[in-house]
């Protein structure tokens, strides 16, 4: 992907993607579903290889990534947004805002708490914000040292110091990447802060939102209604990672890019029984022969865990 998007002309040309399977044969899928899946796969790998952070992330500088490489990734960002309405929402909003608007609009401290680990957030930083006298000073000092804090903190100075650290980690450190992406995206992305914030909220999957996407046939048999119950319970129990996989199986995007996922029921034997995703049309085909919820959950998990 990075090699292909190193050519700046790719932003003005029709985009056709072909993908090889592990056995080096060409994948049969094509069209918009494959395009969504490729962008989803790219950003998933990018988060793992090129970013730091937990819930929210920012790119870090790699010695093997020069300006041309980061600009290619900026073009992938722009093409995914333009072609598939795909926005990598795990990237911290202040990083994106600085790139698009030249200023940070979000609450830096609030975002930084989602960048830090759960242990740092719960046991030190949030506790110090709420009641500075109750926090373990050694734990707090260790966390602040991790982010190269050079000032003595107190109850009065801690909020301001934490905001300074937040700006350093979320904006200053990835500033080289911001500069590489800014010239590519800013002239071609007419986003306001309000629209960007709404996109982050709309694209983020939740079990409630995904459950609302499921569109069932008007007339269902008793068996089909039982499978619907299994499906809705399964979606309610998914964690964040599995929810993205479920969406990707049904729509080939790990974000909410559709108004609906249409459910169809098929007659299958116990041997051939399996869920089937028809991703270009965003259909989910389900067998109508599950006897219990456990079998449904186990077989769907096997598919999602197999990637």
CB 147 within 8 A of CB 168: yes
* Boundary of a domain, candidates 176, 204, 232: 204
Query: Does 66 lie in the same domain as 19?
Result: yes
Count CB-CB contacts under 10 A for residue 242. 17
- Quote the pTM value: 0.90
Query: Does 211 lie in the same domain as 197?
Result: no
Q: In the chain, how many domains are there?
A: 2
Please return the burial class of 280, using the count of CB atoms within 10 Å of its CB with bins 0-12, 13-18 and 19+.
middle
Write out the H or E segment, with its range, that includes residue 278: strand 276-278
**Residue 31 has what pLDDT?**
73
- Report DSSP state, residue 122: I
Query: Does 257 lie in the same domain as 195?
Result: no
Residues 6 or more apart whose CB falls under 8 angstroms from that of 9 comprise: none
**Residue 16 has what pLDDT?**
84
CB 59 within 8 A of CB 177: yes
d(CA 197, CA 101) in angstroms, rounded, equals 13
Contacts of 288-295 with CB under 8 Å at 24 or more apart are 288/221, 288/223, 288/224, 288/227, 289/223, 290/226, 290/227, 290/230, 293/229, 293/230, 293/233, 293/234
What range defines the domain where residue 294 resides? Answer: 207-305
Tokens 């290889």 sit on residue: 49
**Residue 290 has what pLDDT?**
84
**Residue 184 has what pLDDT?**
84
Could you write out the DSSP letters of every residue in 23-34? TSPBPS--SHHH
Say if strands 261-266 and 283-287 run parallel, antiparallel, or are unpaired.
Answer: parallel
**Residue 27 has what pLDDT?**
82
Query: Does 9 lie in the same domain as 50?
Result: yes
**Residue 271 has what pLDDT?**
84
C-alpha closest to that of 236 among 203, 202, 208:
208
Query: Does 54 lie in the same domain as 148?
Result: yes
Question: For residue 244, what is the domain's CATH number?
Answer: 3.30.2410.10
Query: Does 220 lie in the same domain as 160?
Result: no
Query: Does 184 lie in the same domain as 239?
Result: no
**Residue 186 has what pLDDT?**
65
pLDDT along the chain (307 residues), means of 10: 93 87 83 86 96 96 95 95 92 95 94 95 94 93 94 94 97 96 78 92 95 94 93 95 93 91 91 85 89 90 87
- Report DSSP state, residue 134: G
Query: Does 170 lie in the same domain as 72?
Result: yes
Count CB-CB contacts under 10 A for residue 202. 14
Sign of the Cα pseudo-torsion (22, 27, 33, 36, in order): positive
Q: Which two tokens stand for residue 83?
A: 């072609």
Tokens 């609302």 sit on residue: 212
Query: Does 214 lie in the same domain as 108?
Result: no
d(CA 246, CA 210) in angstroms, rounded, equals 9
**Residue 22 has what pLDDT?**
84
Query: Does 102 lie in the same domain as 235?
Result: no
Count CB-CB contacts under 10 A for residue 7. 11
**Residue 187 has what pLDDT?**
66
């Amino acid at each position: 992907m990075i090699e292909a998007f190193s050519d700046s002309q790719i932003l003005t040309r029709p985009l056709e993607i072909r993908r090889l399977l592990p056995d080096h044969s060409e994948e049969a899928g094509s069209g918009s579903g494959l395009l969504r899946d490729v962008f989803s796969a790219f950003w998933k790998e990018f988060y793992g290889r090129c970013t730091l952070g937990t819930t929210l992330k920012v790119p870090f500088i790699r010695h093997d990534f020069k300006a041309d490489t980061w600009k290619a990734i900026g073009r992938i960002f722009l093409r995914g947004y333009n072609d598939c309405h795909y926005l990598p929402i795990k990237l911290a909003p202040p990083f994106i805002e600085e790139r698009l608007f030249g200023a940070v609009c979000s609450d830096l401290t609030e975002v930084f708490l989602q960048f830090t680990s759960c242990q740092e957030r719960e046991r030190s930083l949030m506790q110090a914000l709420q009641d500075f006298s109750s926090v373990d000073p050694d734990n707090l000092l260790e966390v602040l040292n991790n982010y190269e804090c050079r000032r003595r903190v107190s109850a009065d100075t801690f909020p301001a110091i934490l905001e300074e650290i937040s700006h350093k980690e979320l904006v200053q450190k990835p500033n080289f990447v911001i500069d590489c992406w800014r010239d590519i995206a800013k002239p071609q992305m007419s986003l306001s802060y309000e629209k960007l914030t709404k996109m982050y909220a709309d694209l983020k999957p939740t079990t409630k939102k995904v459950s609302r996407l499921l569109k069932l046939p008007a007339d269902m048999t008793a068996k089909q209604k039982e499978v619907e119950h299994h499906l809705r319970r399964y979606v309610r129990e998914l964690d964040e990672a599995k929810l993205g996989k479920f969406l990707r199986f049904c729509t080939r995007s790990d974000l909410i890019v559709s108004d609906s996922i249409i459910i169809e029921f098929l007659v299958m034997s116990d041997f051939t029984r399996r869920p089937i995703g028809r991703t270009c049309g965003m259909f989910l085909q389900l067998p109508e022969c599950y006897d219990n919820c456990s079998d449904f959950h186990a077989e769907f998990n096997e598919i999602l865990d197999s990637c």
